[in-house]
A and B are shown apart, each in its own frame.
Chain A
Amino acid sequence: MNAHAPIPALDPGCAVDIRQERGQRAVFCGLTGIVWLHRKIQDAFFLVVGSRTCAHLIQSAAGVMIFAEPRFATAIIDERDLAGLADMNEELDRVTRRLIERRPDIRLLFLVGSCPSEVIKLDLSRAAQRLSQSFHPDVRVLSYSGSGIETTFTQGEDACLAALVPEMPREATDAAASLLVVGALADVVEDQFSRLFAELGIETVRFLPARRAGDMPAVGPNTRILLAQPFLADTARALEARGATRLPAPFPLGAEGTTAWLKAAADAFGIAPDHFDAVTAPGRARASRALDPYRAMLRDKRVFFFPDSQLEIPLARFLSREMGAALIEVGTPYLHRGHLAPELALLPPGTQVVEGQSLDAQMDRARAARPDLTVCGLGLANPFEAEGLATKWSIELLFTPIQGYDQAGDLAELFARPLNRRTRLEV
Chain B
Amino acid sequence: MQLTLWTYEGPPHIGAMRIATAMRGLHYVLHAPQGDTYADLLFTMIERRDTRPPVTYTTFQARDLGSDTAEIFKTAVADAYERFRPQAMIVGASCTAELIQDDPGGLAKALALPIPVIPLELPAYQKKENWGASETFYRLVRALAGSTAEVTPREGRRPLCNILGPTALGFRHRDDLVEIEKLLAALGIDVNVIAPSGASPADLGRLGAADFNVVLYPEVARAAAQHLLKTFGQPMVETVPIGVQATIRFVEEVAKLAGVDPAPVLAGAPSRLPWYSRSVDSTYLTGKRVFIFGDATHALAAARVAATELGFKVVGLGTYTREFAREVRAEAALHGIEATITDDYLDVEAAIQGCQAELVLGTQMERHIAKRLGIPCAVISSPIHVQDFPARHSPQMGFEGANVLFDTWVHPLMMGLEEHLLGMFREDVEFHDGVAPSHLGGGERAPQPEPIRIEPTPVAETPSTPAFVWDPSAEKELKKIPFFVRGKARANTERFARERNLAVVTVETLYDAKSHFGR
Does A163 belong to the interface (CB within 8 Å)?
A: no
With beta carbons under 8 angstroms apart, the residue of A26, A61, A99, A152 that contacts B454 is A99
Instruction: Name which of A113-121, A217-225, A269-277, A320-328 contacts chain B.
Output: A113-121
| In the bound complex, CA of A25 to CA of B36 (Å) | 10
* Contact B34–A25 (Cβ < 8 Å): yes
A52-B124, A86-B1, A149-B96 known; A102 vs B452 contact (CB < 8 Å): yes
Shortest Cβ distance from A380 into B: residue: B52
Q: Are B41 and A24 closer than 8 Å at their CB atoms?
A: no
Considering the complex, give the chain B residue whose CB is closest to the CB of A152: B34
Residues of the B chain whose Cβ atoms lie less than 8 Å from the Cβ of A27:
34-35, 37
Given contacts A95-B1, A149-B61, A150-B62, contact A52 B7 (CB under 8 A): yes
Which A residues lie within 8 Å of B3 (CB)? Answer: 73-76, 95, 98-99
* Interchain CB contact under 8 A, A2 and B63: yes
- Known interface pairs A2-B62, A24-B57, A379-B44. Does A51 touch B34 (Cβ–Cβ under 8 Å)? no
Least CB distance, B393 to chain A, in whole angstroms:
19
B125 adjacent to A51 (CB under 8 Å)? yes
How far apart are the CA atoms of A1 and B65 in the complex, in Å?
Answer: 14
Interface size class of A (residues with CB under 8 A): 35 or more
Report the stretch among A64-72, A258-266, A339-347 that lies at the interface. A64-72
| Cβ of A386 under 8 Å from chain B | yes
Docked Cα-Cα span, A427 to B56, in Å, equals: 33
Q: Point out the residues of chain B lying under 8 angstroms from A115, CB to CB.
A: 33, 35, 95-96
Flag if A57 contacts B38 (CB, 8 Å).
yes
Please tell me which one of the listed residues B1, B83, B453, B455 contacts residue A88 in the complex, with CB atoms under 8 A apart: B1
Residue of B35, B45, B76 touching A31 (CB-CB under 8 A) = B35
Whether the pair B41, A73 counts as a contact (CB closer than 8 A) is no
Q: Is the CB of B100 within 8 A of A119?
A: yes
Least CB distance, A333 to chain B, in whole angstroms? 9
Q: Contact at B49–A382, with CB atoms within 8 Å? A: yes
Per DSSP, chain A at the interface is helix
Q: B52 is contacted by which of A49, A147, A383 (Cβ under 8 Å)?
A: A383
Q: Does A60 contact B (CB under 8 A)?
A: yes
B454-A98 in contact (CB<8A): yes
For B9, B42, B52, B128, which residue has the most chain A Cβ atoms within 10 angstroms? B52
Contacts of A17 in B (CB 8 A): none
A203 in contact (CB, < 8 A): no
Instruction: Mark out the residues of chain A between 1 and 42 whose CB falls within 8 Å of any chain B CB in the assembled complex.
Output: 1-2, 24-32
Tell me which of A81, A99, A118, A149 contacts B60 (CB under 8 A): A149
Q: How far is the CA of A57 from the CA of B454 in the complex (A)?
A: 21
Confirm or deny: B463 has a beta carbon within 8 angstroms of a beta carbon on chain A.
no
Asked if B41 contacts A60 (CB within 8 A), the reply is yes
Bound: A423/B150 CA distance, A = 55
Q: Say yes or no: is B94 at the interface (Cβ < 8 Å to chain A).
A: yes
B56 touches A53 (CB 8 A): no
Contact with A along B42-59 (1 / 0, CB 8 A): 101100111110001111
B4–A73 CB distance below 8 A = yes
Q: State the CA gap A24–B385 with chains docked (Å).
A: 28
21 A-B residue pairs with CB within 8 Å: A28-B38, A29-B33, A52-B9, A53-B95, A56-B14, A60-B42, A74-B4, A76-B4, A79-B126, A91-B1, A92-B1, A98-B454, A115-B33, A119-B99, A147-B35, A149-B60, A378-B45, A379-B52, A383-B49, A383-B51, A385-B50
Closest 8 CB pairs of A and B: A148-B35, A29-B35, A379-B40, A386-B50, A51-B95, A115-B96, A67-B368, A91-B1
Chain A positions within 8 Å of B, measured between CB atoms, are: 1-2, 24-32, 49, 51-53, 55-57, 59-61, 63-64, 66-67, 70, 73-79, 81-82, 86, 88, 91-92, 94-95, 98-99, 102-103, 115-116, 118-120, 147-150, 152, 360, 377-383, 385-386
Q: Which chain B residues have a beta carbon within 8 Å of chain A's beta carbons?
A: 1-7, 9-11, 13-14, 33-38, 40-42, 44-45, 48-52, 56-65, 76, 79, 83, 94-96, 99-100, 123-126, 128, 368, 371-372, 385, 452-455
